[in-house]
Amino acid sequence: MAFERGWWRDPEALRAAYKEFGTLEKAAFAGGVTARTLGEWWRRHGLPQLPRGERPRLVVPVAIESDDTWLLDVLKKAGDEATIDQLADAADVSPRRVREALERLGDAGYRVREEAEAVRLERVVPDRHNLHPGLLLGSEARFGVVSDTHLGSHEEALDELELAYDFFASEDISIVLHAGDFICGRGIFRGQDSEIKVHTLDAQIDYLTENYPRRDSIRTYGIAGNHDLEGEAGRAGLDPIAAFAHRRDDIEYLGAYSAWLQVGEGPWIHLLHGRGGMGYAYSYKAQKLVDGYPAGRKPALLICGHWHVRANFEARGVEVMFPGCFEWQSRFLTRLGLTPAVGFHIVDVTFGEDGSLVQFLPRWLRFWEGRVVG
């Protein structure tokens, strides 16, 4: 079966691939796409529900046509170097047929060397490796990431946050991680009262409970940040996010500033709300955070809120993500020289049985202040 670009968007092509290969997993492997993508498009096309097939074994496809084995036999007799004409004479075929066969052999991993004076061939069998394809397979996980929503601020991006949750629902995301600072808080910095529109902590908890997006298919797991726990809340010993989670059955409160989430029985994700200023280079902050882990206790992924910036780096084998925010630039951020990155992530990861991270695919979706479409 020939696969064209975006073939799975055609319901007939998708149905034909399933019929030929027997399972969506095998059709996905043959067609160069993930089984999840085929499953999503199968549902979008309204095709009948299918039993889940077994994951196909990865094999090295044979690219050499059976008709080209004659040239390999001739090369063995003629030696590693021979002209096109010599090979054509030895095989009793035209030089054109030799060139066509050589081109196919080149695609299969053989090298063809041409000298300036005469065309000569260098027959080199491609190197093989013994690594098991299972090194690139494992348990897949998919989730959304948001941070620093600061509800109650004059600069809150609440409409954008609602749209982000609409997008999560459209992508069948069932888990969203929140890296802290659900609310703007009070008494966090001098002059904050002029930058917020909800002026008591009780009112901010009510506002958060009523306005934070709710979708029946999504559960949000989050930690509290400095705006949630410090300032007036800290002086009163109040935890507004614990109160919020108590009122909402779709919110799972993981604790203050930091939480460790285990994926199945294997790797860990560290959800952290940072402190202090961001370094001149984001990568420096990422390296310092990872340097703080004791030996033998590094997570596979660190998601760190607080700085309202977006980036991802690898440091000491740990993927570090700065997840952006949902607050437009306030006067306080302007004074600090910070331009917030307003947006969210959808993250696809694959973890090996040993806890290693073998695929990390973050999708960043950004909003721009004042941008209007339609």
* pLDDT tens sequence across 117-143: 555 555 554 445 566 677 777 788 899
Length of the chain: 374
Q: Look at residue 307 and give its three-state secondary structure.
A: coil
Q: Which residues of the chain, if any, have pLDDT below 70?
A: 1, 29, 32, 51-67, 79-81, 106-132, 336-337, 374
For residue 234, CA distances in Å to 111, 152, 224 come to 70, 18, 12
Q: Residue 82 corresponds to which tokens in the numbers above? A: 């021979």
**Closest Cα to residue 178, out of 259, 107, 248?**
259
| Domains of the chain: residue spans and CATH | 7-59 (no CATH), 63-128 (1.10.10.10), 136-366 (3.60.21.10)
Is the separation of the CB atoms in 283 and 292 below 8 Å?
no
How high is the mean pLDDT of the chain? 83
Distance (Å, whole) CA 178 – CA 218: 13
Q: Residue 114 corresponds to which tokens in the numbers above? A: 């041409």
Other CB atoms within 10 Å distance of the CB of residue 279: 13
Distance (Å, whole) CA 362 – CA 364: 6
Distance (Å, whole) CA 53 – CA 24: 7
For residue 135, CA distances in Å to 59, 309, 340, 350 come to 13, 33, 38, 11
Please give the pLDDT value at position 369: 87
Strand partners, 362: 347
Distance (Å, whole) CA 75 – CA 120: 11
Signed CA dihedral, 219, 226, 186, 147: sign only: negative
Is the separation of the CB atoms in 256 and 239 below 8 Å?
yes
Residues 6+ apart with CB under 8 A from 192: 184, 185, 186, 231, 332
Strand partners, 320: 302, 313
DSSP conformation class of 117? S
Q: Residue 45 corresponds to which tokens in the numbers above? A: 């096309």
DSSP conformation class of 169? H
One DSSP character per residue, 317-359 reads TEEEEEE-BSBPPPHHHHHHT----BEEEEEEEEE-TTS-EEE
Distance (Å, whole) CA 148 – CA 185: 11
Please give the pLDDT value at position 38: 79
Phi, psi of 121 (to 5 degrees): -115, 140
Please give the pLDDT value at position 281: 79
Q: Residue 363 corresponds to which tokens in the numbers above? A: 């999708």
Strand partners, 151: 183
- The answer, as to whether pTM is greater than 0.85, is no
